[in-house]
Amino acid sequence: MRRAARPGRAAAVGLLLAARAVAGLEPISVGIAIAAASALTGYLSYTDLFCRFAECCLEEQRLNASALKLELEEKLFGQHLATEVILKALTGFKNNKNPKKPLTLSLHGWAGTGKNFVSQIVAENLHSKGLKSNFVHLFVSTLHFPHEQQIKLYQDQLQAWIRGNVSACASSVFIFDEMDKLHPGIIDAIKPFLDYYEQVDGVSFRKAIFIFLSNAGGDLITKIALDFWRAGRKREDIQLKDLEPVLSVGVFNNKHSGLWHSGLIDRNLIDYFIPFLPLEYRHVKMCVRAEMRARGSAIDEDVVTRVAEEMTFFPKSEKIYSDKGCKTVQSRLDFH
Query: Any binding-site annotation on 255?
Result: no
Which is nearer to ligand ATP, 32 or 143 (by Cβ)?
Answer: 143
In the complex, minimum distance from the CB of residue 55 to ligand ATP, in angstroms, rounded to a whole number: 24
Q: Strand 173-177 to strand 272-276: parallel, antiparallel, or no bridges (unpaired)?
A: unpaired
Query: Any binding-site annotation on 218?
Result: no
Does 215 participate in binding ligand ATP (rule CB under 6 A)?
yes
Among 40, 41, 43, 79, binds ligand ATP (CB under 6 A): 79
In the complex, minimum distance from the CB of residue 279 to ligand ATP, in angstroms, rounded to a whole number: 6
Does 275 participate in binding ligand ATP (rule CB under 6 A)?
no
Query: Any binding-site annotation on 110?
Result: yes
Does 112 participate in binding ligand ATP (rule CB under 6 A)?
yes
Among 43, 77, 176, 193, binds ligand ATP (CB under 6 A): 77
Binding range to ligand ATP, per CB under 6 A, among 48-56, 70-78, 151-159, 190-198: 70-78
Does 327 participate in binding ligand ATP (rule CB under 6 A)?
yes
Does 111 participate in binding ligand ATP (rule CB under 6 A)?
yes
Among 36, 37, 72, 78, binds ligand ATP (CB under 6 A): 78
Q: Which residue is nearest to ligand ATP (CB)?
A: 114
In the complex, minimum distance from the CB of residue 113 to ligand ATP, in angstroms, rounded to a whole number: 4
List Cβ neighbours of 121 (8 Å cut-off, separation of 6 or more).
68, 71, 72, 75, 76
Does 165 participate in binding ligand ATP (rule CB under 6 A)?
no
| Exposure class string for 209-219: b at 16+ Cβ within 10 A, else e | bbbbbbbbbbe
Does 115 participate in binding ligand ATP (rule CB under 6 A)?
yes
Within 10 angstroms of residue 69's Cβ, the number of other Cβ atoms is 16
Binding range to ligand ATP, per CB under 6 A, among 61-69, 76-84, 145-153, 230-238: 76-84
Does 17 participate in binding ligand ATP (rule CB under 6 A)?
no
User: x/- binding map, residues 281-320, to ligand ATP, per CB under 6 A?
Assistant: ------x---------------------------------
Does 117 participate in binding ligand ATP (rule CB under 6 A)?
yes
Query: Any binding-site annotation on 115?
Result: yes
225 close to 238: Cβ distance less than 8 angstroms: yes
Residue numbers belonging to the annotated binding site: 109-116
Residues of this chain that bind ligand ATP (CB under 6 A): 75-79, 109, 111-117, 213, 215, 279, 287, 325-327
Residue numbers belonging to the annotated binding site for ATP: 109-116
